[in-house]
């Protein structure tokens, strides 16, 4: 393209966003960390809230003009407390990573020891030495991992906890098939006076829908999350707390959390996404249980259907998954990289993933692919569609059929699933809103 005017430059950007939207309209979106927001939640994103500042807390702002922002924030916070049944919620963090940084800023100081799941076992970069944990100057000590069961090795982890006596113990992963063994470890954690933190980024909507573990009732002090993965909200973050630690009073714990977020790691907190989150929380209170249950049934059905077609889906002996995610070892079919590229050409969007036994230098072509069922569920797909999806995967990955010849069948399947479910009012999922011509 050779732009003649600056308006052409702008139109070029619009045109690409529109084409992107059309691609996703015709595609199966299966990245485990994504979802689509409801039309009502999307409407909040283009409101005047996207132009404003509101630093601090409702009723105690540093700027004027926040009368209605305050009402929205108070209400969204109330909805979050209700959804997770906790006394404290903060709807200001602008992403899951920022929520994590806020907790680290609040509860730790440099050189403190934190126990963490390992990145190579499926943890998130924000909890690694080269991510937020390192930015805070902490000493991360990983839990041993049981690759057979794709979960923390409880006995090994208890040994580590008793030995290093962490100030903070973190749970939660990005390749997250099964609940973390918190109930099994909570006595050991309390014995060494560790504060317990659960990063629920991936499974926030499953927890809120009462179909995963219940971290707060299992003894967790604080939980963070992204609000756009299994919770089908805007790209934003959240902190929830119900402290039980004896390290400090509840009041002090919550004061530190609040201060950790602002002024700790935020100034303005993206009011349009916060308002949008308020809508998503209300929708999840209404539909979350039904939605979360169907997500997990779909993920298990996808695992079963792919297994039956010759894929090495991890953890068959455990029913493949108890979350929205399955992990597939595709080494024998050429490895993750060529497969995710072929899938993309056929309009199936996935990501390659390192598996725990991959050497660290395998990042360019890891053995695994990670698949999430939450977005396909959101547009109304059920178990029988998971079977159809597995067949498409087989044609591309195992039969090595040309992606160009599979694509029409992907588009055909997708054409029957264009509406968003589990939200108020329903509506088209992939509508492009042109405001300026």
Ligand X SMILES: *Cc1c(COP(=O)(O)O)cnc(C)c1O
Residues that bind ligand X (CB under 6 A): 33, 95-97, 100, 124, 126, 172-174, 199, 201-202, 226, 237
Nearer to ligand X, 132 or 381 (CB): 132
Nearer to ligand X, 96 or 179 (CB): 96
Nearer to ligand X, 119 or 376 (CB): 119
Nearer to ligand X, 124 or 211 (CB): 124
Least Cβ distance, residue 6 to ligand X (angstroms): 32
Least Cβ distance, residue 237 to ligand X (angstroms): 6
Q: CA–CA distance from 360 to each of 120, 314, 354, 367, 384 (Å)?
A: 8, 19, 8, 11, 37
| Cα–Cα distance measured from residue 309 to residue 394, given in angstroms and rounded to the nearest whole number | 7
Reduce the DSSP state of residue 65 to 3 states and report it: coil
Least Cβ distance, residue 334 to ligand X (angstroms): 26
428 Cβ contact list (under 8 Å, min separation 6): 39, 418, 419, 420
Least Cβ distance, residue 32 to ligand X (angstroms): 8
Nearest to 307 by CA among 332, 328, 324: 328
Nearer to ligand X, 199 or 385 (CB): 199
Q: Looking at 220-366, which runs of residues are DSSP E strands? A: 222-226, 237-241, 312-313, 325-329, 348-349, 351-353
Least Cβ distance, residue 113 to ligand X (angstroms): 20
Nearer to ligand X, 202 or 211 (CB): 202
Least Cβ distance, residue 400 to ligand X (angstroms): 32
Least Cβ distance, residue 199 to ligand X (angstroms): 5
Give the number of C-alpha atoms closer than 13 A to the C-alpha of residue 256, restricted to the C-beta side. Answer: 19
> Hey, what are 280's tokens?
């998503």
> Hey, what are 34's tokens?
């994504």
Q: Which residue is nearest to ligand X (CB)?
A: 96
346 Cβ contact list (under 8 Å, min separation 6): 392, 396, 403, 404, 406, 407, 410
| Cα–Cα distance measured from residue 387 to residue 389, given in angstroms and rounded to the nearest whole number | 5
H helices of 309-356, where? 336-345
Nearer to ligand X, 126 or 300 (CB): 126
């Amino acid at each position: 393209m050779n732009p003649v005017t600056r308006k052409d430059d702008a139109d070029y950007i619009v045109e690409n966003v529109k084409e992107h939207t059309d691609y996703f309209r015709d595609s199966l979106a299966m990245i485990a960390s994504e979802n689509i927001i409801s039309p009502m939640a999307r409407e909040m994103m283009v409101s005047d809230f996207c132009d404003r500042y509101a630093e601090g807390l409702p009723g105690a702002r540093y700027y004027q003009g926040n009368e209605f922002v305050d009402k929205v924030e108070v209400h969204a916070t109330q909805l979050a407390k209700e959804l997770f049944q906790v006394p404290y919620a903060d709807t200001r963090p602008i992403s899951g990573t920022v929520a994590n940084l806020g907790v680290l800023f609040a509860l730790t100081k440099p050189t403190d020891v934190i126990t963490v799941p390992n990145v190579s076992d499926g943890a998130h970069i924000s909890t690694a030495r080269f991510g937020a944990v390192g930015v805070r100057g902490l000493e991360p000590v990983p839990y041993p991992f049981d690759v057979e069961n794709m979960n923390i090795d409880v006995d090994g982890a208890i040994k580590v906890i008793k030995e290093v006596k962490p100030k903070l113990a973190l749970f939660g992963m990005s390749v997250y098939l099964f609940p973390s063994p918190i109930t099994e470890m909570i006595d050991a954690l309390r014995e060494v006076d560790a504060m317990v933190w659960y990063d629920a980024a991936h499974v926030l909507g499953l927890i809120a829908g009462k179909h995963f573990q219940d971290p707060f009732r299992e003894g967790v002090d604080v939980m963070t999350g992204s609000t756009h993965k299994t919770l089908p909200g805007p790209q934003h973050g959240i902190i929830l707390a119900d402290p039980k630690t004896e390290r400090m009073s509840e009041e002090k714990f919550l004061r530190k959390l609040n201060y950790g977020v602002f002024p700790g790691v935020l100034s303005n907190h993206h009011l349009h996404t916060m308002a949008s989150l308020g809508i998503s929380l209300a929708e999840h209170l209404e539909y979350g249980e039904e939605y979360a249950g169907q997500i997990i049934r779909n993920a298990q059905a996808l695992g079963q259907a792919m297994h039956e077609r010759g894929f090495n889906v991890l953890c068959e002996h455990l029913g493949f998954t108890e979350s929205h995610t399955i992990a597939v070892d595709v080494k024998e079919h050429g490895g993750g990289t060529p497969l995710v590229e072929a899938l993309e050409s056929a309009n199936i969007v996935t990501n390659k993933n390192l598996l725990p036994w991959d050497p660290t230098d395998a990042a360019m072509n890891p053995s695994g692919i990670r698949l999430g069922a939450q977005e396909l569920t959101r547009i109304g797909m059920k178990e029988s569609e998971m079977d159809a999806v597995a067949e498409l995967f087989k044609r591309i990955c195992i039969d090595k059929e040309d992606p160009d010849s599979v694509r029409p069948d992907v588009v055909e399947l997708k054409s029957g699933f264009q509406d968003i479910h589990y939200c108020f009012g329903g509506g088209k999922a992939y509508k492009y809103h042109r405001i300026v011509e």
